[in-house]
Structure 1
Amino acid sequence: MAKQASIIELQGTIGNITFVKTQDGFRARKAARVSAATIASSAGFQRTRENMAEFGHAGTTGRVLRQAFSILLKNAKGKRVTSRLLKEMMKVVKADTVNPRGLRNVVDGELGFLQGFEFNNSADLKTTLAALYTTSINRATGLMTVNIPALVPTETIKAPEGATHYRVVCGGAEIDFKAETYTADFEESPYLPWTATTAAALSLTANVTPASELPLFLVMGLQFFQEVNGTYYALKTGEFNALSIVKVDA
């Protein structure tokens, strides 16, 4: 291993040279390269293969979940939603107490960990909506429901500057993570004025296959608009729109 003679103490990798700090000072060594074939077959990389398998599974299932609600996601622009959801999916995978390492999966894990996940971390639902709404999933009938009580919009809904109206949206999905398929349904409220006048109670529903044995997810969100001459314009392409997983039945 070569010793660094420069007064500049480097740490990290530049090209194929790695700089490290040891008890004897800073050293430089050639970075080791491991072939894909070695990782795929060597007994020394068994743990690596297991981690890669579970990480890949978490990434795939996160993608399927995002696709199931893509209609709503395009109007709720969150930051790093893919990586944040991957992190939560890994928690779900690691909660699997049935299968060995490398074969743990979300179906045998704890999908309930996803309840409360905010797709838009810049406008989370619990901050945007102060009303005590209720949710339900009836697996037998396939009916998923969001109920919002009567409320005064300016007091219970945190709207961005320039908003004149809002809309409540909900979506329900049954997801087959093994087959990477899903069935989804959506409903949205009419455009509602963001004023100090009490808005009537609201109920939105989504329908999936009755008596489904697949995991069921219910999401709810708020979208904001500015009305000009009868036309409703979205504000900053969804930057202020909240969208959250409000109920999971796995």
Structure 2
Amino acid sequence: MAKQKGIIKLKGTLGDITFYKTADGYVAREKGGIDKKRIESDPAFQRTRENGSEFGRAGKGGKLIRMALRTLMREAKDGRVTSRLLKILMDIIKTDTTNERGLRALQNGELGKLKGFDFNINGKLDTSLYTPYTVSTDRAAGSLQIQLPAFTPNIGIEAPEGTTHFKLVAAMSELDFENNAFVFDGSESGILPWNAEEIAALDLIASVTANSTLPLLQVMGISFYQEVNGQMYPLKNGAYNALNVIGIDTP
């Protein structure tokens, strides 16, 4: 793979060279590869077909998670979140000991590997929120409760330069990987001043289906704001906002 230089950047195919844009810039590579029909039928490519099947399953699972958390990810994500999430999901599929290779599935793997995943690599929850909190999950009731004691914002929260306000969010999503469906619920603290005045204890609650037999993904995040002339603006367009998987409850 070669990087394109110069003022004019190309996209498309010219002869045997394909030009396209990636997150790393404009690149070019030589066309090639094996015929698709051969990959689909030749016994020599059995492993390739198995890998492709599981890769596709992980891709669908990643899309389901992103759809479930879409409203929160709009405020906290980085440009590589899709590929980073896909990598972890592939690792999870490989932990499925129930199905044979090529048929392994997310719901049978170690979904706990998702815990700690940051949707924005530039804004991590564990380097932003230093106030201790407790997480309570009641599968029978389908509820999530995150409790934070009273705290002083400029001590309990490490905020980027320019911050005047912040918001805490929490959510839970019931994920049905087999049927590509989800149930989502979340709550937020509202926009609060980031200063030296103590704020009262906070309760963040979310509810999904009671007695669910599906994985329950739990996330928590923080968004930073700057007040200008009485208006709240996402600080640097949310570049430092955090959204983290704080837990995943499996049946």
Q: Identify the TM-score tier after normalising by the shorter chain.
A: 0.7 to 0.9
Output the TM-score relative to the length of structure 2: 0.85
Cα 1:33–1:129 change in 2 (3 A) is closer
Query: C-alpha displacement at 1:76, in angstroms?
Result: 0.7
Two-structure CA RMSD over aligned residues (Å): 1.8
Output the TM-score relative to the length of structure 1: 0.86
Deviations 1:106-148 (A, max 9, x none): 0000111101110011010000111221212111001111111
Counterpart AA for 1:153: P
Identical aligned pairs, as a percentage? 47
Q: Is 1:83 aligned with 2:77?
A: no
Question: Residues of 2 paired with 1:47 and 1:63: CA distance?
Answer: 24
Cα 1:43–1:190 change in 2 (3 A) is same
The residue aligned with 2:4 is none
The residue aligned with 2:67 is 67
Structure 2 alignment gaps of length 5 or more: 1-14, 18-29
Structure 1 alignment gaps of length 5 or more: 1-14, 18-29
5 Å-filtered alignment, 1:137-156, equals: 137-156=137-156
The residue aligned with 2:98 is 98
Query: C-alpha displacement at 1:79, in angstroms?
Result: 3.2
5 Å-filtered alignment, 1:169-248, equals: 169-248=169-248
Question: Residues of 2 paired with 1:234 and 1:118: CA distance?
Answer: 19
Deviations 1:165-206 (A, max 9, x none): 101011111011111111101111121111112222111011
> Secondary structure in 2 aligned to 1:107?
helix
Q: Which has the larger radius of gyration?
A: 1
Cα 1:247–1:33 change in 2 (3 A) is closer
> Is contact 1:79–1:121 with CA below 8 Å preserved after alignment?
no
Q: What is the number of equivalent residue pairs in this alignment?
A: 225
Counterpart AA for 1:119: F
Query: C-alpha displacement at 1:16, in angstroms?
Result: 6.1
Question: Residues of 2 paired with 1:129 and 1:31: CA distance?
Answer: 48
5 Å-filtered alignment, 1:2-81, equals: 33-81=33-81
Counterpart AA for 1:181: A
Query: C-alpha displacement at 1:149, in angstroms?
Result: 1.9
Question: Residues of 1 paired with 2:229 and 2:68: CA distance?
Answer: 34
Question: Residues of 2 paired with 1:84 and 1:226: CA distance?
Answer: 29
> Secondary structure in 1 aligned to 2:50?
helix
> Secondary structure in 1 aligned to 2:171?
strand
The residue aligned with 2:7 is none
5 Å-filtered alignment, 1:113-128, equals: 113-128=113-128
The residue aligned with 2:110 is 110
> Is contact 1:77–1:237 with CA below 8 Å preserved after alignment?
no
